[in-house]
Structure 1
Amino acid sequence: MSKSYKIAVLGASGYTGSELVRLLLRHSGLEIAALSADSKAGKPMAEVFPQFAGVDLPELKKIDAIDLAEIDGVFCALPHGTTQEVISQTLAKKPNLKIVDLSADFRLADLDAYAEWYGHPHKAPELQAEAVYGLVEIHREKIRTARLVANPGCYTTTAELPVIALLQAGAIDPEEIVIDAKTGMTGAGRAAKEGMLFSEVSEGIHAYGVGKHRHMAELDQEFSEAAGKPVRPSFTPHLAPMNRGIYATTYVRGTGGTDAERMHGILADRYADEPFVTVLPFGQVPQSRHVRGSNMVQIGVVADRRPGRAIVISTLDNLVKGASGQAVQNMNLVLGLPETMGLEQVALFP
């Protein structure tokens, strides 16, 4: 690789930030030039994440201390609600930067919907107007020319890849989409929280955000665009006692005589050439352990016992394809690099 782009990771002390570092260390086209953290500023990355012991990495800095002069691309792995102002300030300093934002701050094109779901007005509406929703397999061509890419959520990526393809094909009833999804503990972030203690979450599973989870707004947006009319799916997230993974079971009803086997064929054809999406043989069910540590998505389709209905199951690693891996995929596209670069690792099993 003759050209190496210099990259800054803002928010490197969180799980998605550390996952970006892990992926970028083996990326031949992207070089880690700066890492930021707030409370951890001044510390070596290996002190925050000991798996990087012995690895030559930049010291963690405050965002304002990073020199953008030689930076080509920025990953923002910052908490929701803080990124709009940070990105506005960053682009004001260097307008030609390419930015992939891993927070939810630029995912919703409708400013009123953002205010409704996040409880405050959007702080950078002019940037929202240019932001591209970074679901690569659906919006690849728009992403290529974007300056600001909004990396999708982990839950939404898992559910959207199969459902959008079926909606675009007119194969399922948009009024009957029910998504039951489970996430691993890393989806809740690294901050200390009583409800995230081992004894609070182990040996059990529970639903949360029932009927009002913020990812519903993303699902509404992308499903509606795919169907060409408003779509409001049912979606319930659950917290499962595992470190990594998203597992989504989606119940759909076919239209115009489309049965489960035909739905499987639509998905298999749609994703046949996608490097990171595998549609399993009809009737086979994916397992979250089979995508752990990889940028892969596995999709399975099983016939429901009721005619015309199907159970579509999809899974991915929430920290890779659900966050940092997809972010690298997006950065590869906006910088003109091969899309799969730095993401070729297979799943870690067992």
Structure 2
Amino acid sequence: MARMNEEGRVMRNYDRRLAIGMVAALGIALSSVGVAQAEPVRIRAGWANMPHHMIPVLFSKPEILKHYGKTYVVEPVQFRGSSAQIPALAAKQLDVGVSAASAFALAVNNANVEMKVLADVIQDGVEGYGSDAFLVRKDSGIETVKDLRGKRIGTNGIGSFTDTVQRVMYMKAGLKPEDYTMVEASFANMPTMIAENKLDLVPTIQPFRDQMMATGNYKILYDQGDAMGPTNGTFLAGRAEFINENKQAMYDFMEDYVRASRWFHDPKNRDEVLTIISTFMKQPKESLSSTFTKADYYRDPYMIPNVPNIQKVIDVPNELGLSDVKLKLEPNYVATEYVEEAKRRIEANP
């Protein structure tokens, strides 16, 4: 009997040690899961042009950000234009990006990527602010849009916002797509190409427009406002699947996106802002004199997108027969609750 009691005590001690060991192991496992969950979400963000898109430098001031490195980090990825992002979005190699309406619609309709409009980037053609300008050489003999028949026209990417604006302008002037030749090139390379007579017209963004106009060799044939009026030319968009899987990180990302945008647009920070941008672009600060002034594009103070003016960029080419792409943005393809929550947070805690 004593032997059985001793064996029982041994077994009970063994069971107790086993239970303690299992609890400890479970605690370590749960702790490991907690550490994994605490890792900041990596947000791969597409962009094309600086200083307009700002993604590469927007998160460079950690002291003005509330959540960077805690709940999320940003990995900027450069593309020639928004349409070039579509394969990366479809392959889930990109999470958010600066988009144009035409590229957004193509991603949804052709690449079967469920997308959401998230926030403003730049708005073109807004009264009192700058607009994309389309330049020709003064000695080209081109006086009106109709004179572009048979000419070589630069575009930063087929299907981009700029490309869409051009085609709308030419259709309104009675030119069909077969009446001119579109040549893809980066904005940075176009000034050289028109100077070397490889292009007859180029779309320009700052600082290249001011640099070209300063030579006295070019003139503005038309601007984006002439073609379509006010538009939300480019905006921040994201994959719905990624957004839904990372809602808290996206709320925090958007708060920092808006906070940083407001800091960069604040006149009292202008000298430091231009230093940051010029260093990144490897351009002299003097070449950025119009950046974030009334000569630049309009941006909403809280980066809330103008959805009707995005919708316009999809509808107008379709109505003119330039595109068969149709997409009604609201309500299924818009998720402005993130930027609206960012506004509420910032107003409550500036």
The TM-score with structure 1 as length reference comes to: 0.30
**Structure of greater Rg:** 2
Q: Higher strand share goes to which structure?
A: 1
Q: Higher helix share goes to which structure?
A: 2
The TM-score with structure 2 as length reference comes to: 0.30
